[in-house]
Structure 1
Amino acid sequence: MKKILMKPLLAATLILAGLNSGYAQDYLINQLKNNKSDNSKETFIFTDVINIENTPVKNQGSSGTCWSYSANSFLESEMIRMGKEPVEISQVYTARNAYIEKGKNYVRMHGAITLGDGGALHDVINMYKKYGALPKSEYTGLNYGTANNKFAEMQAINQGLLEAVVKNPNGELTPNWIDAYTSVIDTYLGKVPENFTYKGKKYTPQTFAKEVIGINADDYVELSSFTDHPYYEKMVLMVPDNWSLDMIYNVKMNDLTDIIDNALKKGYTVGWAGDVSEKGFSWKNGVAFVPNKDYSAMDAEEKQDLFKGPKEELVITPEMRQQAFDNYDTTDDHGMHIVGLSKDQNGKEYYIIKNSWGASNDYQGYMYMTKNFVKYKSTAILLNKGGLPKDLAKKMDIKQ
């Protein structure tokens, strides 16, 4: 297969990072207590098969904006694929616009919809299409003296503000609530520039998106796999962070990895969303797999040796995947970026995953995830429709 080189990684300054939920945030803190393993790189020997060029690893700080970091990293790789010079897209500008739209939906739904940092991969495409984009140099979101994102105070204020709006103490909403809500966001993250200069040329967010980034938002599709909906048709992605109630394509479980494989072979990277609060997911070791034995049934030695070299995995079925989703064992708590394919010393294939928790683990911000883990714990994938296998695109009536 074609070998595509990766750009050098940047070192991150902070270890803390956030996911989509409070539970996942606590899980992450435990994961990052010891960021380097003692043996992973010695007992796992990976040989890259495909390694698609991507931009340096970022650190999302203490914010649940993984969806924005991962999908914007994906768009940056799309720029490289199209022969453009990549620019670091402001992840916080994307998140800021999603917060505005999310607040509107929250009020319209009388508070009966998710609020907070969490989001979905498609939010990045939707916000790009509606609001354009900014380079990070023009909108860092660090408007109150911190070195990295720290959004908890802002989100607590916004939660209280919108709850008061929904309670509607005057009996009728005024048009001022959206200005009050926006002003809180702008106070913490900064006001959006109407225009700015980048490399000597003046842009608005919309013209920057069109002329510099240059992607077509309509070229991207999001997919998942559920047994309780018809295959190859659209369905609402039933996860709490799908606050916009976007629809995705439903495919068979094995199609997920077939689609990712096809995309990588053709030079396309893939956005990934799924569950990382699993005993088989280790950030410090840089490996994610599905043990063939339940962790609670393992003895002390088995637990100790869990990441000491490749292990046999559980065979995943569509029914197992659906059950895990239905009983909340699989939740939508993190987003990352699939940038390649590798093999271990036994020939098993793993996807190369770029994370947004800084370059703090054994693999400097990257990790290796088995195909079984992807089949079992993915909640959605995002890719350019050009990366779809032609037969699957035809089944879904997607024109490539």
Structure 2
Amino acid sequence: MKNSLIIVILIFVSFTCNSQSYEFETVIDLETTDVISQGNTGTCWSFSASSFLESEIMRITGKNIDLSEMYTVRNTYPKKAWNYIMRQGKAQFSEGGLAHDVINSVADHGLVPNVVYPGLETHTTRHNHAEMIAVLKGMLDVYIKNPGRQLSPKWKLVTESVLDIYLGKNISTFNYEDVQYTPESFLKMTKINPKDYISITSFSHQPFNTNFILNIPDNFSNGSFLNVKLNDLVDITNNALKAGYTVELDCDVSEKTFSSKHGLAVIPKDDINKKEALENVRPEKEITQNLRQQEFENYNTTDDHLMHITGMLKDQNGTTYYKVKNSWGKNSDRVANDGYIYMSESYFKLKTISIMVHKDVVPKKLLN
């Protein structure tokens, strides 16, 4: 009994002595716009990809422009509605989407600044789409049920009217900094070329170095992804940041060790005390392609949330972390690091669904 007590004390002392609070050193910190909140919406895909494009505009032109997330959302919902109607309700109709939906919208409808299209109802300062999505889905379901035995041609017009009421009418011309623009001419001014951006993933159920449609719920537009090996996914991300390019990120945030309150995302080797891993540096799991695939196929890794990687850090042990810009605001006791998440490379390797980068940072040998 005495020996057992001594062993327990030694283990506790060893654990206590080895516990280290996180200390981070910035390695790369790329230019980006302020952290803002997506409010009570599921439109992280538009907020993150818009932030990504804002950094691209800074990199290319030096201009700091706050893009309208809701202009993209406004022009994406009709496509979601079409998909839902044509699949007769046997598809997801929700607030979710992916980064390529923003790129598709930019290609089709251009860009506008947030100041001319905030997408907020009168007298409101926070986005809330709960009522709008309920109205849209309920309305589309009525049309799908075919009370008149055929699909009413009015459904498109009614959908547009609902979007006009909740988000605002689409705009064709506007004034920005004393210059008259259309969404297309504004896009041209930013020098963003939608064809320059590529979505990349890493899953072994499809051949590597080929493109395939990733079957996840929010991929309503059947976007195609370049499939690369896990090490290549990490290398592309690291090399992009080192070259001055930020990275769009789609990942799983359902882990207990993803915490906006702590501003941290890690994958501890020991699953027993996950809270400890958010407060003190702990060893992390070795992430393999097989483990990543297993977590995806058993639904432990899902397409929860999109964010924006803007930099890189290291802790006191030399472990790599990504500086990830979130869209949950920054002035809250539930948000640390001014709205950023410090994501370990292990978390990134295990929980990333996909990234989006400028094609110039992708090795030509990986492109078809």
TM-score by length of structure 2 reads 0.92
**Which of the numbers 281, 302, 305 marks the counterpart of 1:310?**
281
**Which of the numbers 204, 207, 210 marks the counterpart of 1:230?**
207
**Which of the numbers 246, 255, 267 marks the counterpart of 2:232?**
255
Residues 1:375 and 2:349 are matched in the alignment: yes
**Which of the numbers 369, 386, 389 marks the counterpart of 2:360?**
386
What is residue 365 of structure 1 aligned with on the other side? 339
**Which of the numbers 302, 315, 339 marks the counterpart of 2:310?**
339
**Which of the numbers 93, 96, 100 marks the counterpart of 1:122?**
100
What is residue 279 of structure 1 aligned with on the other side? 256
Q: What is the one-letter code of the residue matched to 1:384?
A: H
Instruction: Give the unaligned 5+ runs of structure 1.
Output: 1-41
Instruction: Please give the alpha-carbon distance, in whole angstroms, between the structure 2 residues aligned to 1:363 and 1:395.
Output: 35
Residues 1:139 and 2:110 are matched in the alignment: no
Q: CA deviation at 1:50?
A: 0.7
Q: CA deviation at 1:84?
A: 3.0
- Deviation larger for 373-382 or 357-366: 357-366
Whether contact under 8 Å (1:92, 1:139) holds in the other structure is yes
Percent of residue pairs identical: 44
Instruction: Please give the alpha-carbon distance, in whole angstroms, between the structure 1 residues aligned to 2:143 and 2:109.
Output: 25
Instruction: Please give the alpha-carbon distance, in whole angstroms, between the structure 1 residues aligned to 2:83 and 2:279.
Output: 47
Instruction: Please give the alpha-carbon distance, in whole angstroms, between the structure 2 residues aligned to 1:290 and 1:255.
Output: 20
Q: CA deviation at 1:146?
A: 2.0
Whether contact under 8 Å (2:60, 2:191) holds in the other structure is no
For 1:261, what is the secondary structure of its paired residue? helix
Q: CA deviation at 1:324?
A: 1.0
For 1:93, what is the secondary structure of its paired residue? helix
- CA 1:110 to 1:304, structure 2 compared with 1: closer, same or farther past 3 Å? closer
C-alpha distance after superposition, 1:195-235 (max 9, x if no partner): 11111111111111112x22110000001011110000000
Q: CA deviation at 1:175?
A: 2.1
- The aligned runs of 1:31-50 (5 Å cut-off) are 43-50=21-28
For 1:272, what is the secondary structure of its paired residue? strand
Q: What is the one-letter code of the residue matched to 2:310?
A: V
What is residue 349 of structure 1 aligned with on the other side? 320
Q: CA deviation at 1:174?
A: 2.8
- CA 1:306 to 1:383, structure 2 compared with 1: closer, same or farther past 3 Å? same
Q: What is the one-letter code of the residue matched to 1:64?
A: G
**Which of the numbers 153, 177, 188 marks the counterpart of 2:166?**
188
Instruction: Please give the alpha-carbon distance, in whole angstroms, between the structure 2 residues aligned to 1:303 and 1:329.
Output: 16
C-alpha distance after superposition, 1:280-337 (max 9, x if no partner): 111111110101123xxx2xxx344232221111111111111111111111010000
Q: What is the one-letter code of the residue matched to 1:74?
A: F
Runs of 4+ in 1 over 3 A off after TM superposition: none
What is residue 19 of structure 1 aligned with on the other side? none
What is residue 69 of structure 1 aligned with on the other side? 47
Instruction: Please give the alpha-carbon distance, in whole angstroms, between the structure 2 residues aligned to 1:352 and 1:109.
Output: 39
What is residue 31 of structure 2 aligned with on the other side? 53
What is residue 13 of structure 2 aligned with on the other side? none
For 2:323, what is the secondary structure of its paired residue? strand
**Which of the numbers 176, 181, 184 marks the counterpart of 2:154?**
176
Residues 1:99 and 2:77 are matched in the alignment: yes
For 2:278, what is the secondary structure of its paired residue? coil
Whether contact under 8 Å (2:143, 2:152) holds in the other structure is no
C-alpha distance after superposition, 1:113-170 (max 9, x if no partner): 2211100011110100001111100111112432110000000000101111111221
What is residue 295 of structure 2 aligned with on the other side? 324
Instruction: Please give the alpha-carbon distance, in whole angstroms, between the structure 2 residues aligned to 1:176 and 1:169.
Output: 13
Instruction: Please give the alpha-carbon distance, in whole angstroms, between the structure 2 residues aligned to 1:77 and 1:120.
Output: 18
C-alpha distance after superposition, 1:34-78 (max 9, x if no partner): xxxxxxxx9211111111011111110000010100011000000
Q: What is the one-letter code of the residue matched to 2:144?
A: V
Instruction: Please give the alpha-carbon distance, in whole angstroms, between the structure 2 residues aligned to 1:208 and 1:171.
Output: 44
Whether contact under 8 Å (1:144, 1:188) holds in the other structure is no
- CA 1:173 to 1:334, structure 2 compared with 1: closer, same or farther past 3 Å? same
Instruction: Please give the alpha-carbon distance, in whole angstroms, between the structure 2 residues aligned to 1:161 and 1:177.
Output: 8
Residues 1:215 and 2:186 are matched in the alignment: no
What is residue 198 of structure 1 aligned with on the other side? 176
For 2:186, what is the secondary structure of its paired residue? helix
What is residue 267 of structure 2 aligned with on the other side? 290
C-alpha distance after superposition, 1:255-295 (max 9, x if no partner): 1111100101110000000100101111111110101123x
For 1:55, what is the secondary structure of its paired residue? coil
Whether contact under 8 Å (1:221, 1:383) holds in the other structure is yes
C-alpha distance after superposition, 1:67-122 (max 9, x if no partner): 10001100000011113312111001111111111111111111122211100011
Instruction: Please give the alpha-carbon distance, in whole angstroms, between the structure 1 residues aligned to 2:136 and 2:99.
Output: 22
For 1:137, what is the secondary structure of its paired residue? coil
What is residue 13 of structure 1 aligned with on the other side? none
**Which of the numbers 267, 280, 287 marks the counterpart of 2:244?**
267
For 1:138, what is the secondary structure of its paired residue? coil
Equivalences, count: 346
What is residue 56 of structure 2 aligned with on the other side? 78
